[in-house]
A and B are shown apart, each in its own frame.
Chain A
């Protein structure tokens, strides 16, 4: 390997690592707030990317139909709850937020799809569509089980993952797709060539991380999420709704996922089931931080990206094997770090 190959691999690894880092942050957020190991995080990535691909091709993305159905189901559930509790005054607001606005979004996307609007607008529409799904998924799949054990929530996540992957196949077909790079130019520094596309990915990822850090430390809702993560019961006693926190965290997760998908789709062909592996690689990174620490999760994810890039050079056939067996030494290290005390099988 010479220096130029090394720098290419390095760039590749860091760019993919940045995407994994975003995914890892979302995973840590959802786990910390809800104790949900959110396997379907990767599906948001695929949905975001493929929704954009559909819009670019001028077709209506299937994700909007999913959004419409989930909006109706969510509304029905909330309506019946509101009626049962006799809170009739809330119904108008409920219908407006939970039913009318998502359906307006669906209508907007359907209307916009054949009109070939600028890329940036299409990206925005894709992100909004996917982001709106996050809270609905919480409502439909998790809310009833908010107090269940981690393992039960994990198995529910598996169910959500199955549903989303299957629907992804239905919506987007089995073929992979990508879009044209957002930035064609590249920057040459001596022998070093930096691709503009990679720079965009890195810049946006870093910016998003900074915004998230600011949000969590300086806004009321951010602090509410942090409080819920630290102590659920305590947060509730202080008047923070854990349901709100759950929905908000999934909203963020969906947003981060969709954005990651849009960032990655010019460089890698995304298939309906690509999300799962991306999500799991984010997990390998997040486990480095014990699913607890945001900075460690991000660093771990970048390391996973680098490991993947370099192993694809030396043993491309085994790159997945290498990346996923890397979890074993990480687990071993964590188990030694935690003093190796035996824990119960459940919690």
Chain B
């Protein structure tokens, strides 16, 4: 459906935005609308950073200040064009954000907001004490922006420029979120470990989204400086930094449209409160922040997602549209799917090894946690197109062994070689690039994303271009080809595992068994030579287990090698070609299922000895 909610909202926005200044509304309204736009641009950055990426920043106002001061200084002191001021502001902000991000984004959750708070405060005092930036008086006499020979020197003229950039920011953000880099960014919040195991360089994406949010803030600062024609440190202080975050939270930090809603609400509220609060409480000064604070606390207690989802569901109730099964964010994949189902060239695949060739060699692998030897000089091999089971009683060291191969833990001693290459010291992300796909014992997926998008994260590595190129093309939606190919691949793998009917369902709404299958599809998307499955049958019903076994056999017949850690003996004995049994960290037996079933050592380990 082309008339998805998203296109309708966009259309509405464009319409209202174009008409407002043409109507005989008072100038004050236009000025207020300008502020909504200026705040909105900053908040869209915050949505990407905080609501989607899970990185909280109180320092956005400082980035706004960098943009404003850069252009203010250049245009008044050197007489350069404001457009060069914009360029300078973006460059300075980008560089600052990159450096700050390098230092702070390595830290866990709560350090970043504190660091941004400190950074916001420092920059405020820096602006206020620099002789050449006019100290606390700031810079005045900033020239207006000239566009095609027209001077944008009043609110109505600036209005179009500001809202043009708002629209650009909305479009770019929506495009970005709906792409390969976007899926990686969305996985930062709550799925970073999984994303790393799928080959996503989460550190790169954190920096990227931090810089992007800073650049949007800087853009808003540039517009602000040429709209106000003067800058001083106050609007770039920490209070404003906090208020930007408040706007995003009130509107709905997880939604691009929420950013604009929040900016609108706060602007209207600010205006009203400044009029009637002093009358009510009989004091002057900044007391409207009391009300802001109360609203913030109440919103978080009763509507943590902000007001946009509330509004959205209200809209849905008032004008029930026939909901297609496709959520608004997925129209691209849907169009691509319908129009071009099988005409897209499939992604390049690795060449498979001939059956029987050595694919994984574990030689005297050892892992110690302090004095505890979790894996004690274990050796075994996996041949191509074999299903190997790793079994053993609880606490035998199976999961540790699994984590050593998948790169979550690093070896204390010994060697693990994959396809002839030593991988014992590589990280999870490097290992998936070599051709090892994995699933998780406790299902790790992004519950609010669709099944298709979740699986597409697995195909993250299957595109050739560099990181920046990816992000840029995604923002301007020049990545059609690749995006279609990735989603097509995800769809193909989902059909392969039997989830073809659930492409556009939220992943969190699947049953546990289906979620496990989804993880296999996601792992398959990375085009692995070896598949590591951590208890794939746990929580599955009999029929589901049979279907899973059938799927794994089929994969083996297509040349896939599989290592699975499993508790379910029936499942393992029927399925595997070869078994490795561990107990107390050591390998106690190895062989075909029949051999293992009659091995006295194994029987003793499982059933206890006969004394």
Contact = CB atoms under 8 A, between A and B. Distances in A.
B546 to A, nearest CB: 36
Contacts of B58: 158
A156 B129 contact: no
A154 B106 CA distance: 19
Given A169-B283, A345-B188, A150 B289 contact: no
A57 interface: no
Nearest to A336: B106
Contact of B293 (A148, A160, A280): A160
Nearest to B246: A158
Nearest to B285: A169
Given A170-B287, A344-B192, A345-B189, A156 B56 contact: no
A166 B118 contact: no
B296 A158 contact: yes
Interface residues of A, number: 53
Interface string B468-497: 000000000000000000000000000000
A162 B297 CA distance: 10
A287 B289 contact: no
A145 B109 contact: no
B301 interface: yes
Classify the interface of chain A: helix, strand, loop or mixed: helix
B108 interface: yes
Contacts of A345: 53-55, 109, 188-190, 192, 206
B304 interface: yes
A74 to B, nearest CB: 14
Interface stretch (B119-127, B344-352, B413-421): B119-127
B194 to A, nearest CB: 10
A145 to B, nearest CB: 6
A280 B121 contact: yes
Given A155-B245, A321-B125, A334 B107 contact: yes
B155 interface: no
Contacts of A340: 106
Interface in A130-159: 140-141, 144-145, 148-152, 154-156, 158-159
Given A174-B285, A345-B192, A335 B107 contact: yes
Contacts of B107: 331, 334-335, 343
Given A166-B287, A169-B287, A170-B283, A155 B293 contact: no
B288 A166 contact: yes
A5 interface: no
A204 interface: no
Nearest to B193: A344
Interface in A169-184: 169-170, 173-174
Q: Which of B103, B109, B115, B119 has the most CB of A within 10 A?
A: B109
Contact of A150 (B110, B119, B121, B188): B110
A313 to B, nearest CB: 16
Interface in B289-307: 289-297, 300-301, 304
A318 B297 contact: no
A328 interface: yes
A272 to B, nearest CB: 9
Contacts of A2: none
Nearest to B206: A345
A342 B285 contact: no
B601 interface: no
Contacts of B605: none
B393 interface: no
Interface string A294-316: 00000000000000000000000
A66 to B, nearest CB: 11
A163 interface: yes
A78 interface: no
B110 A162 contact: no
Contacts of B285: 169, 174
Nearest to A340: B106
B122 A37 contact: no
Contacts of B115: 327-328, 331
A347 B108 CA distance: 8
Interface in B191-215: 191-193, 196, 202-203, 206
B190 A154 contact: no
Contacts of A165: 289
Contact of A343 (B108, B119, B189, B292): B108
B111 A287 contact: yes
Contacts of A342: 106, 192, 196, 202-203
Given A344-B190, A345-B192, A331 B103 contact: yes
B251 to A, nearest CB: 14
Contacts of B206: 345
B466 to A, nearest CB: 20
A151 B114 contact: no
Given A169-B286, A280-B117, A346-B189, A325 B122 contact: yes
Given A156-B296, A166-B287, A346-B189, A328 B103 contact: yes
Contact of B296 (A140, A162, A346): A162
A283 interface: yes
A284 interface: yes
Nearest to A284: B118
A88 B290 CA distance: 35
Interface of A: 37, 140-141, 144-145, 148-152, 154-156, 158-167, 169-170, 173-174, 277, 280, 283-284, 287, 291, 317-318, 320-321, 324-325, 327-328, 331-332, 334-335, 338, 340, 342-347
Q: Which 7 A-B pairs have the closest CB atoms?
A: A345-B54, A162-B293, A166-B290, A159-B296, A163-B293, A343-B108, A344-B192
18 contacts: A151-B56, A154-B56, A155-B249, A156-B297, A158-B242, A158-B246, A159-B294, A162-B290, A162-B292, A166-B288, A170-B283, A280-B121, A317-B129, A324-B121, A331-B107, A344-B191, A345-B192, A346-B190
Given A325-B122, A347-B109, 17 more contacts: A148-B304, A151-B113, A155-B245, A163-B297, A166-B287, A280-B118, A291-B110, A320-B121, A320-B125, A328-B119, A331-B104, A331-B107, A338-B108, A342-B203, A344-B191, A345-B55, A345-B189
